[in-house]
Homo-oligomer: A and B are copies of this chain.
Amino acid sequence: MTTPHAPAPGPAILDLASDPAELTAALIDIESVSGHEGRLADAVESALRELPHLRVHRDGDAVVARTAAVRSERVVLAGHLDTVPLPTVEGSRGTVPSSWSGQGDDRILWGRGATDMKGGVAVQLALAAALTQPNRDVTYVFYDHEEVDSARSGLARLYRNAPELLEADFAVLLEPTDGTVEGGCNGTLRFQINPTGLAAHSGRAWRGDNAIHKLAEVLSTLAGYEPASIEVEGLVYREGLNAIRIRGGVAGNVIPDSAGVEINYRFAPDKTLEQAQQHCRELFPGHELEFVDLSPAARPGLDRPSAAAFVAAVGQEPKPKYGWTDVARFSEKGVPAVNFGPGDALLAHTDDEHVSARAIRDCYRALQDWLTA
């Protein structure tokens, strides 16, 4: 096993003409936990600069490569270079370097990022090399800091520094969807309700005012809440409203003067962020809501011609995306976006992250067909 964040052993070389599953293994072997994407970004940039049909731009540890503007339509293929930290449990296979099991098309590739999302990045890179004359202009976007808080997002930084590089009619984010198209995504927000009271010795509780008891009504609302399922452009999004943290208490003999609960609302893309916030305020009248995280939902955009063509090419029934992904950033900028990538999203971040060679190759072929048909 390599030591995490050890000094890099010189520049890494990527062969973009290799099979995309083999290329995935090579990408996994260049460890790139969030904040340490530099060596992988260098390798991606170097390999792309070898391709004469692409214009390559570097911004921090993000790399953008664009075909010359010759078609009437431009699409983005996007993926993040970073991974969550390596497993800490001894013997986990979802680590660095990668390893293989099985045979042929049933071979399984194990390693950190196998599903989230070096399989998708390998497909991007292989397409970038192979499609010298695609039927649509393509912008390949590789970015850093996706697995950490939103403020450090490499994609958000690109949108600030060079928004013109990201202009497009449609975007495909190669996050793992097991080869189906997942449209849009739920929004997510979190807020805290922090009632205050008056401390007192619990032997004379009537001199105090118990802040924990003031959460009774809030929890009752949560326990009784029936989350909606909402159809948007033919996809049904399931919402959720959940307490994710609760705290309160000073000592065993003190009436607590403060308490707090933090609540997560996952909302369907029929709502703007402001409408979602308003819904929460209406659910908890008389309480002050302190919002601590706000990420808008993304409409699937499946009514756009470019998206419809993509879905037709892939040939599978699209599904809604429940988790929040960067499709929301594209959607916010007016670029309809879907998730479509190899691997099972439920394996992401696990200690035994893996992906089949078949899934990577199938994804490659589907996108190749769409961009060459």
Q: Does A323 contact B (CB under 8 A)?
A: yes
Q: Using known A-B contacts A216-B219, A219-B215, A219-B219, determine if residue A323 contacts B252 with beta carbons closer than 8 Å.
A: no
A202 touches B266 (CB 8 A): yes
Alpha-carbon distance between A304 and B193 when the two chains are bound, in angstroms: 53
Task: Report the minimal beta-carbon distance from A230 to chain B, rounded to whole angstroms.
Answer: 14
Q: Does A87 contact B (CB under 8 A)?
A: no
Task: Report the minimal beta-carbon distance from A160 to chain B, rounded to whole angstroms.
Answer: 24
The stretch among A36-44, A96-104, A206-214 that forms the contact with chain B is A206-214
Q: Does A136 contact B (CB under 8 A)?
A: no
8 Å CB contact of A262 from B203, B213, B249, B324: B249
Residues of B within 8 A of A204 (CB): 240, 322-323
Q: Does A190 contact B (CB under 8 A)?
A: yes
A244 touches B253 (CB 8 A): yes
Q: Does A186 contact B (CB under 8 A)?
A: yes
Q: Using known A-B contacts A246-B259, A247-B247, determine if residue A201 contacts B323 with beta carbons closer than 8 Å.
A: yes
B256 touches A210 (CB 8 A): no
Residues of B within 8 A of A242 (CB): 202, 205, 210, 212-213, 255
B248 touches A212 (CB 8 A): no
B186 touches A203 (CB 8 A): yes
A216 touches B213 (CB 8 A): no
Q: Using known A-B contacts A203-B186, A216-B216, A217-B223, determine if residue A251 contacts B244 with beta carbons closer than 8 Å.
A: yes
B244 touches A246 (CB 8 A): no
Residues of B within 8 A of A222 (CB): 210, 212-213, 216
Alpha-carbon distance between A107 and B78 when the two chains are bound, in angstroms: 80
Contacts beyond the supplied A188-B202, A190-B252: 14 A-B pairs with Cβ under 8 Å: A188-B203, A202-B242, A204-B240, A205-B266, A206-B238, A212-B243, A215-B246, A216-B224, A220-B220, A242-B255, A243-B248, A243-B249, A243-B256, A249-B262
